[in-house]
């Protein structure tokens, strides 16, 4: 007999070892996320996938599903928490969607729409984060980094290069490039690396592309991220 | 007149009158007047009180982002900034020329911009003054008042603007702040359904634009004593023209004339604008004062925009607008027309030209297919000049070895007209203010003179309609002796 738990009141089947997020997705239920990616182990850093299980707030990407568990996800309470997390991510960096070439393809922006984030709520930090354009084919715009570490993981675990890392702690945490100069141009990073094509926001960008694809025909322009993510398996 | 009222002597002994903010213009500015004991104007200045800083925060950004970022300068003419930046960056990516489809899509977008902006300015911002009179009740002097009294005129104004914005949407993706142009070309073709829908409405737009020229012509001729003299001053003119001397708003060479209409220079490449133009900074305004290098700041200032363009060109390459241009030139009797209120007449001739160009372009199959971008040997510098609705717009960028912008210089249309607008308000102040008690109508005359130039004071925010305004006349010791309020 298959095992089940209740997801927003509906029974969801799961197999041993599946996380709440994996099982929910397999059953057609979207849970917002930023640092989770189907090709990588759970990371649990962005906390967007937070759900209430057994009265506790937990990261659904990391917690294995259990028989009879009652999970609340798409509720005003959980969505308010997710919205607050998004608002903190927005004020912590410099996110100027109107002139960002990732607009329409950006998961942070798409989630802000999905979760109806209408204001920044908190004071902007306006950090000073110069861009790194030293690589011939790739631009790094650190202003938009949300510390999901997908590039760190992809470069280390798939590309075998370990080009990226996070350094410092707490509010001083930031993305760095593994080179003596600290510049991407001084690494063996390639535009074809997995790490070059995994950033959910607008940090790692292929140079000289910009707005070649019109706004209006981009990934999240026509449908909400909750629809696109389920359809495309991301 | 040009400079004699710029800075008064013994300023501390004069009474200060402030118009703040100037209403029914784009952006925020104020006017200060200093009056002596006999109510004679001793100083008149138009101050631009907003600071934008785009030139600085463009630096360090990747060049391909610039056409989209820089258009946020303005909500009225973002297309002009979008295209001027794209043209400058065409040089950087070596796209000379861009493919025919891209050139025509951009041209269509630009003439849509000219049409909607000119309609906005004439119907929404200026027609209340012209139809009701400068002394009419302030509460009626707005587009709602026009709609109540002249519903058909207001309707045509709104629909002309809407059509222009639809042209922009079809070519840029959005009515405001679209992304149609990219360095080296464009990112979309015109959809057939958009083409057909616009083509269906285009003849009506041409007809309504003709009617608009007819209306301003009638107003002008009905009161030449006002229209030909109000705030009039003499100045040279600068604009792009086509190589053969035709009116050209998207791409051309620089031509300048003196106040008598003599050609000072012609055929100057947009890349060489710095050989012609310098900018001066004055302590009392955030807007710079450009001038022709060869003539210095006192003699070398000039005006730009419709009045300059329509008289700087040799002909307009569309039949209806050309006929109107000839009539306009005949009104001057062989000499250039310098009256600020003639800007409205020239602007409507350009609106008619824009409607004709759009109408003709919509039949061009290049808009629907063909390569959209080109690329050649990259360069590190580029200048893009376009005739924006308000006048000559210059974008100049340098790009470093890593593709980041290392220098940005923007000279926007309204900046070219800075000295001209200051001179116009000094002329009006001298004509109407000296020795008279302040009235709201008097106050509005200063704004009418400024509005004629259609300035975009911050090139960002649109301050429309009933802006609250307080006019105070104070003695040197600060005692208020007269006060007029509005809004």
Q: Pick A214's closest partner by Cβ from B61, B69, B179.
A: B179
Mean pLDDT for the stretch of residues B395-415: 93
Contact A131 B64 (CB under 8 A): no
Do A156 and A66 lie in one domain? The reply is no
Q: Which of B168, B187, B399 to mutate to test the interface with A (most CBs of A within 10 A)?
A: B187
Q: What is the pLDDT of residue B339?
A: 96
Å between B180 CA and nearest CA of chain A: 7
Tokens 């790739």 identify what position?
A138
Do B332 and B477 lie in one domain? The reply is no
Do A70 and A114 lie in one domain? The reply is no
Domain boundary among B398, B415, B432: B415
Portion of chain B with pLDDT greater than 70, in percent: 91
* Global ipTM: 0.93
Do A171 and A208 lie in one domain? The reply is yes
Do B227 and B263 lie in one domain? The reply is yes
A28-32, B45-49, B191-195, B233-237: range with lowest mean pLDDT: B45-49
Closest residue in A to B177 (Cα) is A98
Q: How many helices (H) and strands (E) does chain B have?
A: 17, 18
Q: What is the pLDDT of residue B466?
A: 38
Is there a contact between B397 and B381 (Cβ–Cβ < 8 Å)? yes
Would an 8 Å CB–CB cutoff place A227 in contact with chain B?
no
Mean pLDDT for the stretch of residues B48-58: 74
Task: Name the helix (H) or strand (E) containing B112.
Answer: helix B100-119
Do A64 and A17 lie in one domain? The reply is yes
Do B31 and B78 lie in one domain? The reply is no
Q: What is the pLDDT of residue B52?
A: 66
Closest CA to B405 of B110, B126, B92, B158: B92
Contact A208 B403 (CB under 8 A): yes
Do B33 and B176 lie in one domain? The reply is no
**Is A90 within a domain?**
no
Task: Identify the three-state secondary structure at position B25.
Answer: strand
Closest CA to B87 of B175, B185, B16: B185
Is there a contact between B482 and B473 (Cβ–Cβ < 8 Å)? yes
Do B149 and B238 lie in one domain? The reply is yes
| CA–CA distance, B134 with B215 (Å, rounded to integer) | 17
Confidence tier at B473 by pLDDT (50, 70, 90): low
Task: Identify the three-state secondary structure at position A139.
Answer: strand
The string of pLDDT tens digits covering residues A134-175 is 999 999 999 999 999 999 999 999 999 999 999 999 889 999
Would an 8 Å CB–CB cutoff place A128 in contact with chain B?
no
A4, with CB counted inside 10 A (0-12, 13-18, 19+), is middle
The string of pLDDT tens digits covering residues B290-341 is 999 999 999 999 999 999 999 999 999 999 999 999 999 999 998 999 999 9
Tokens 């104020």 identify what position?
B30
* Domain count of the fold of chain B: 2
Q: How many CA atoms lie within 13 A of B269 on its CB side?
A: 5
**Is A145 within a domain?**
yes
Contact A214 B67 (CB under 8 A): no
Q: What is the pLDDT of residue B39?
A: 81
CATH code of A157's domain:
3.30.70.20
Q: Pick B173's closest partner by Cβ from A133, A207, A214.
A: A214
Residue span of the structural domain in which A55 resides? 3-74
Measured in residues, chain B has a length of 487
CATH code of B286's domain:
1.10.645.10
Does residue B379 or residue B136 have the better pLDDT?
B379
CATH code of A38's domain:
3.10.20.740
Q: What is the pLDDT of residue B134?
A: 86
Do A36 and A130 lie in one domain? The reply is no
Domain boundary among B387, B415, B443: B415
Do B316 and B370 lie in one domain? The reply is yes
Using an 8 Å CB-CB cutoff, list residues of chain B that contact chain A.
Answer: 60-62, 64-65, 67-69, 72, 93, 173-174, 177-180, 182-183, 187-188, 373, 402-404
Q: Pick B187's closest partner by Cβ from A96, A98, A211.
A: A211
Q: What is the pLDDT of residue B477?
A: 59
Do B260 and B387 lie in one domain? The reply is yes
Å between B64 CA and nearest CA of chain A: 5
Q: What is the pLDDT of residue B446?
A: 84
* Domain count of the fold of chain A: 2
Mean pLDDT for the stretch of residues A201-218: 96
Q: What is the pLDDT of residue B462?
A: 25
Q: What is the pLDDT of residue B459?
A: 42
The string of pLDDT tens digits covering residues B2-20 is 677 888 887 778 888 888 7
**Is A93 within a domain?**
no
Task: Name the helix (H) or strand (E) containing B273.
Answer: helix B273-276
Å between A164 CA and nearest CA of chain B: 20
Contacts of A212 in chain B (CB under 8 A): 182, 187, 373
Do B205 and B73 lie in one domain? The reply is yes
Does residue B143 or residue A17 have the better pLDDT?
A17
Domain boundary among A29, A58, A74: A74
Contacts of B178 in chain A (CB under 8 A): 215
């Amino acid at each position: 007999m298959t095992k089940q738990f209740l997801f927003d009141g509906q029974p969801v089947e799961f197999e041993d070892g599946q996380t709440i997020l994996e099982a929910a997705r397999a059953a057609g239920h979207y849970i917002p996320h930023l640092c989770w990616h189907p090709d990588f182990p759970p990371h649990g850093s962005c906390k967007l996938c937070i759900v209430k299980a057994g009265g506790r707030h937990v990261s659904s990407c990391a917690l294995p599903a259990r028989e009879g568990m009652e999970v609340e996800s798409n509720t005003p309470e959980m969505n308010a928490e997710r919205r607050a997390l998004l608002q903190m991510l927005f004020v912590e960096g410099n996110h100027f969607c109107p002139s960002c070439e990732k607009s329409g393809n950006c998961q942070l922006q798409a989630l802000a729409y999905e979760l109806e984030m209408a204001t920044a709520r908190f004071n902007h930090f306006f950090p000073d984060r110069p861009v790194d354009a030293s690589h011939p084919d790739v631009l790094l715009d650190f202003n938009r980094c949300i510390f999901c570490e997908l590039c760190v993981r992809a470069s280390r675990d798939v590309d075998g290069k370990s080009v990226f890392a996070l350094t410092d702690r707490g509010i001083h945490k930031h993305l760095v490039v593994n080179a003596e100069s600290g510049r991407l141009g001084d690494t063996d990073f390639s535009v074809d690396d997995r790490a070059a094509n995994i950033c959910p926001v607008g940090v790692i960008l292929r140079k000289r592309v910009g707005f070649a694809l019109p706004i209006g025909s981009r990934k999240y322009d026509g449908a909400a991220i909750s629809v696109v993510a389920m359809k495309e398996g991301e | 007149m040009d400079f004699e009222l710029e800075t008064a002597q013994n300023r501390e002994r004069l009474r200060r009158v402030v118009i703040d903010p100037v209403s029914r213009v784009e952006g925020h500015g104020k006017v200060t007047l200093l009056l002596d004991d006999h109510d004679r104007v001793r100083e008149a200045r138009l101050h631009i009180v907003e600071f934008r800083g785009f030139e600085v925060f463009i630096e360090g950004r990747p060049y391909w982002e610039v056409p989209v970022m820089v258009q946020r300068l303005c909500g009225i003419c973002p297309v002009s900034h979008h295209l001027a930046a794209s043209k400058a960056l065409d040089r950087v990516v070596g796209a000379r020329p861009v493919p025919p489809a891209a050139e025509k899509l951009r041209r269509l977008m630009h003439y849509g911009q000219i049409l909607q902006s000119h309609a906005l300015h004439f119907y929404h911002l200026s027609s209340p003054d012209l139809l009701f009179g400068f002394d009419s009740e302030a509460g009626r002097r707005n587009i709602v008042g026009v709609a109540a009294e002249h519903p058909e005129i207001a309707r045509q104004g709104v629909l002309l603007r809407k059509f222009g914005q639809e042209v922009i949407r079809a070519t840029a993706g959005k009515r405001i702040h679209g992304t149609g142009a990219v360095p080296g070309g464009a990112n979309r073709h015109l959809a057939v359904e958009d083409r057909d829908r616009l083509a269906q409405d285009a003849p009506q737009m041409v007809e309504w634009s003709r009617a608009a020229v007819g209306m301003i012509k009638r107003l002008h001729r009905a009161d030449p004593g006002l229209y030909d003299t109000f705030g009039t001053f003499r100045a040279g003119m600068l604009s792009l023209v086509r190589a053969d001397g035709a009116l050209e708003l998207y791409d051309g060479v620089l031509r300048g004339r003196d106040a008598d209409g003599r050609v000072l220079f012609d055929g100057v490449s947009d890349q060489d604008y710095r050989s012609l133009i310098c900018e001066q900074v004055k302590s009392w305004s955030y807007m710079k004062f450009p001038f022709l290098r060869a003539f210095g700041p006192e003699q070398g200032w000039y005006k730009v925009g419709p009045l300059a363009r329509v008289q700087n060109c040799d002909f307009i390459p569309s039949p209806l607008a050309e006929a109107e241009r000839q009539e306009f030139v005949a009104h001057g009797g062989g000499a250039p027309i310098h009256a600020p209120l003639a800007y409205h007449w020239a602007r409507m001739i350009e609106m008619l030209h824009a409607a004709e160009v759009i109408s003709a372009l919509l039949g061009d199959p290049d808009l629907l297919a063909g390569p959209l971008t080109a690329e050649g040997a990259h360069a590190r510098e580029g200048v893009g000049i376009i005739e924006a609705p308000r006048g000559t717009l210059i974008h100049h960028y340098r790009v470093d070895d890593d593709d980041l912008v290392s220098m940005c210089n923007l000279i926007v249309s309204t900046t070219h007209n800075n000295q001209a607008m200051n001179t116009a308000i000094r002329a009006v102040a001298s004509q109407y203010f000296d020795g008279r008690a302040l009235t709201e109508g008097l106050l509005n005359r200063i704004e009418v003179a400024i509005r004629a130039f259609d300035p975009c004071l911050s090139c960002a925010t649109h301050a429309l309609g009933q802006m609250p305004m307080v006019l105070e006349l104070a003695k040197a010791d600060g005692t208020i002796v007269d006060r007029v309020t509005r809004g």
